[in-house]
Amino acid sequence: MNLPTWITLSRLLGVPIVLVALLDPTDIRRWISVVAFVIFAGTDWLDGYLARKLNQVTELGKFLDPLVDKLLVMAPLMALVGLGEVPAWGVFLILARELTISGWRVNPTFQQGKVPGAGIWGKAKTVVQIIAIALLLAPLSGVWQTAGIILFWVALVLTWVSGLLYLLPAKSS
């Protein structure tokens, strides 16, 4: 395994930190969850940058990166459901799309042994999800909480749009 793949796997360390901080969601613990989530989510950019810069893009990295992203995103979303801050059905729709695309990615019938990387819509979806989750985790009120909820719904729409575009056959040039 190369450095970018290790960085990808390091994102998994963020999941228990965020979840444990939210077991007793005091303001300070919520800020801890925000900081941990943002730092670990930021490694998504770092591992991709290094993989391209060092010419270390691998099939394993292309497989692990979105899988680890999904775990890092779904954990706080499920915690937010438990805290009553986002609806379970909205998180379910995100999870359903993520599982569908993950299954599609690893199905050799469709991919002929190659794992396609994320497209621009998938990357946009990830960025909006990260911003929405960070805002929703933070102990903020008023306009910031409203922005977090709005971005949650935007993320849900982008999640489905990117999923549908991923499943559509590529047009020949």
Asked whether the predicted pLDDT for residue 110 surpasses 80, the reply is no
The whole-model pTM stands at: 0.86
Asked whether the predicted pLDDT for residue 116 surpasses 70, the reply is no
| Residue 11 to residue 9: CA distance in whole angstroms | 5
Where do runs of H (alpha helix) occur along the chain?
3-10, 14-21, 27-53, 59-82, 88-106, 108-111, 120-137, 143-167
User: For the segment 117-147, what is each residue's pLDDT rounded down to a tens digit?
Assistant: 567 888 899 899 999 999 999 999 999 999 9
Other Cβ atoms within 10 Å of 5 Cβ, number: 19
CB 43, CB 11: distance < 8 Å: yes
| Mean pLDDT, residues 26-35 taken together | 97
pLDDT confidence of residue 172: 41
User: Where do the domains of the chain lie, and which CATH numbers do they carry?
Assistant: 3-167 (1.20.120)
Average pLDDT value for the chain: 88
Share of the chain above pLDDT 70, in %: 89
Q: Which two tokens stand for residue 80?
A: 């937010």
Burial of 140 (0-12, 13-18, 19+ CB in 10 A): middle
3-state secondary structure of 84: coil
